[in-house]
Amino acid sequence: MGQLSKRAFTLVELLVVIAIIGILVALLLPAVNAAREAARRIQCVNHLKQLGLAMHGYHDTYETFPPGGVCYSKNHDGTHNDDDYTNWAIEILPFFEEQALYDRYNQKLPNRYPRNAPVLGTFLALMMCPTDLHVNELGILINRGWGPANQPPLAPGSYRGMSGVYPTAGSTWTIYHGTPGSTSPHEANMHKRGVLHVVGRGLLKTEGIQKITDGTSKTILLGESHTSSDVQKRRTYWASTWRMHNLGEAHYDPLLRSLDYDFCKLHIQGIASWACARQFGTYHAAGIINFAFCDGSVHSISPYLDGLIYEAQATIAGADLSEL
């Protein structure tokens, strides 16, 4: 009885098998990527929930939410200019097990002074959304002709506090300049302030739940803010109090719910292009933005949500009757 010969694959058959495998991979890859993004988005939402809980821990202790930022009209050396101190993110550190880092921050010195640099340069996982493409890059802003000249290296973040509705004129809620008896637009538009605005000068004080007459379930506290253009200058830096580094503002124009600063600046109308530096936006699918509300809940908002509803959700006392 003769031996049976073994038949090998022909080149054509091998190429067919490889082609079939390639097609299957091409079909499965989008699903795999979608599953990965869904997992990343869930993690981002969980971070917002934890930050919301820390905010409420602060409120339970001090009967008010922390300031968006603290800024005085005189510098540390007595000269007149902006001098920033603490902010909401630093103030809630003890409420998510970062007491040691909080203790390293000198509350008596301006935010950007060298003694506070180790805190401003510390990467915190809770402050970073994994979908944010630039969240692992340290910010180096020294000698860039923008912002404080002696800004230390800054650790990135992905979340900003909601300070209110961007005004059509005058100072914004992130650099509030109002003083008693002032004709600042803010004095006539206090109903447009958010929870986490700047305090320290003017009439504004920190906000407690009792002041949120729109309802805590209808008022934004924190939101995601990623950046795709002019990244070093315009992205979020969690511990920096300087103006728009960790605060944002709402506006009815959907350009302020996107992540492309350059595109926003080129096309924005009716308000100063500086508003684009205070935008909320993400790399999530369809540009969906996750926001933590004052009741501790987290909701996803479309960048194309009606602008007036979005503005109403950004205020604490704007007679907001909207619902998600």
| Mean pLDDT computed over 82-90 | 88
pLDDT score, position 123: 96
pLDDT score, position 87: 96
Each residue's pLDDT tens digit, 159-199: 999 999 988 765 688 876 555 444 455 566 788 889 999 99
What separation, in Å, do the N-terminal and C-terminal C-alpha atoms of the chain show?
Answer: 81
Each residue's pLDDT tens digit, 276-317: 888 999 999 889 999 999 999 999 999 999 999 999 999 998
The yes-or-no verdict on residue 321 having pLDDT over 70 is no
The yes-or-no verdict on residue 143 having pLDDT over 70 is no
One-letter amino acid at 45 equals: V
Question: Which CA distances in Å does 67 have to 63, 89, 151, 169, 240?
Answer: 12, 9, 21, 23, 13
One-letter amino acid at 285 equals: A
DSSP H helices, the chain, are 11-62, 88-91, 99-103, 117-120, 185-188, 231-234, 261-267, 307-313
pLDDT score, position 145: 45
**pLDDT class for 324, splitting at 50, 70, 90?**
very low
The yes-or-no verdict on residue 69 having pLDDT over 60 is yes
Q: Is the distance from CB of 109 to CB of 115 less than 8 angstroms? A: yes
The yes-or-no verdict on residue 132 having pLDDT over 80 is yes
pLDDT score, position 202: 67
Locate the domains of the chain by residue range: 40-313
- Percent of the chain scored above 70 by pLDDT? 82
Each residue's pLDDT tens digit, 205-226: 899 999 999 999 999 999 999 9
Looking at mean pLDDT, say which of 88-92, 133-137, 279-283 comes out highest.
88-92
More confident call, 150 vs 140: 140
| Mean pLDDT computed over 112-134 | 93
The yes-or-no verdict on residue 32 having pLDDT over 70 is no
**pLDDT class for 80, splitting at 50, 70, 90?**
very low
Distance CA 277, CA 162 (A): 13
Beta bridge partners of 84: 71
Nearest to 146 by CA among 277, 239, 268: 277
Q: Is the distance from CB of 185 to CB of 169 less than 8 angstroms? A: yes
Mean residue pLDDT of the chain comes to 84
Distance CA 323, CA 299 (A): 11
**114-150: string of b/e by CB count within 10 Å (b at 16+)?**
eebbebbebebebbbbbbbebbeeebebeeeeebbee
The yes-or-no verdict on residue 63 having pLDDT over 90 is yes
pLDDT score, position 239: 95
